[in-house]
Amino acid sequence: MRHATLSCLSAALLSAALSATPALSQETQIDFVLNWKYQGPQSAFFIAKDKGYFSEEGLDVTLDQGEGSAAAITKVASGAYDAGFGDINALIALAADKPEEAPIAVYVLYNNPPFTIAVKSESDIREPKDLEGKTIGGPASDAALQLFPAFAEITGIDASKVEITNMQSNLREQMLARGQVDGVFGYVNTIAFSAKSAGMNPDEDFRFINYGDFGMDLYSNAVVVSKQLAEEHPDAVEGLLRAINRGVKDMIADPDGSVKYVVDREPLLNSEVEAERTVATLKMEMSNPEAETIGLGDVDEARLKRSIDTLVKARDLARAPEVSEIFTDRFLPPLSERPTKIAD
């Protein structure tokens, strides 16, 4: 009887251990929203997914298309997503007004400002002041559009004299080319390579008024996570960044080859154009000289503080958030593992 009792007890313990095993090995689910529709520069995220980098970190990451870099911030803030790839300036504006809802940036990829207003090459718009009396269009959630009040303040534009109109993102370049608007808001590479995909020649057809050329030395897109994810699952956030960092390194090492991971999801994309877009993004949006010393992903706190102050003043925000409310380096892989040379 005693032997039988011990056997039953052993069986019960074994059964309990086996039933617990799936829970111990279960991956942490993270819903992640991208900045935009599928494009070559997003390949770092898809590489991390398809090569198993997320899985190796115990993560099950779902990657969804976005509706704009600013929209990605609000989607994470609302709880619809756990993490995303969005504009840090939209995060600053949200944190100034609703600090309890704002997510936190944990890995900055775009360390140069990509914001621009594109006009036709034959346009009489050659400097910011020339925008007065003109109609400029863009998707409502476009980060460059949302930053326009700050750009107007810095450059002396009377914003009341500029008509802003909203449009679908897939109509932006065509409406500009047809003269239905005088200019369009967007990211330089988004406009240029979307135009190229549509058979236009952006180098000949368009001229770009870049925000960064007029004193707006801002950071742009970053990986952001919800406060809940950061507080309740810090190990998952560290794993998420390790995986994305590996994907970024693979993209830098082979930008042409990396595009297949995006095209696999959207076969209608032009692989050659997306490869060009990826190379241009690495050179123009991810290669600030500061990366050579602090590494991709991190920020210069003084520079970020200046960015916050610029936005607070230009947009008359309710308050100036602290740098620590906007970005933290606590989840970053060590500098030795992050890229310091992004493009030649």
pLDDT digits (tens, 9 = 90+) for 116-155: 999 999 999 999 999 999 999 999 888 899 899 999 999 9
Please give the structure tokens belonging to residue 19.
Answer: 């039933």
| Neighbouring residues of 16: CB distance < 8 A, sequence distance ≥ 6 | none
Pick the more confident residue, 314 or 221: 221
Torsion of CA 145, 151, 153, 155, to 10 degrees: -140
Q: Mean pLDDT, to the nearest integer, of 98-103?
A: 97
> What per-residue confidence (pLDDT) applies to 141?
83
- Confidence at 25, pLDDT banded by 50, 70, 90: low
The C-alpha atoms of residue 289 and residue 1 are separated, in whole angstroms, by 77
The length of the chain in residues reads: 344
Q: Mean pLDDT, to the nearest integer, of 105-113?
A: 97
The predicted-structure confidence for 174-219, as pLDDT tens digits, reads as follows: 999 999 999 999 999 999 999 998 899 999 999 999 999 998 999 9
| Neighbouring residues of 323: CB distance < 8 A, sequence distance ≥ 6 | 301, 304, 305, 308
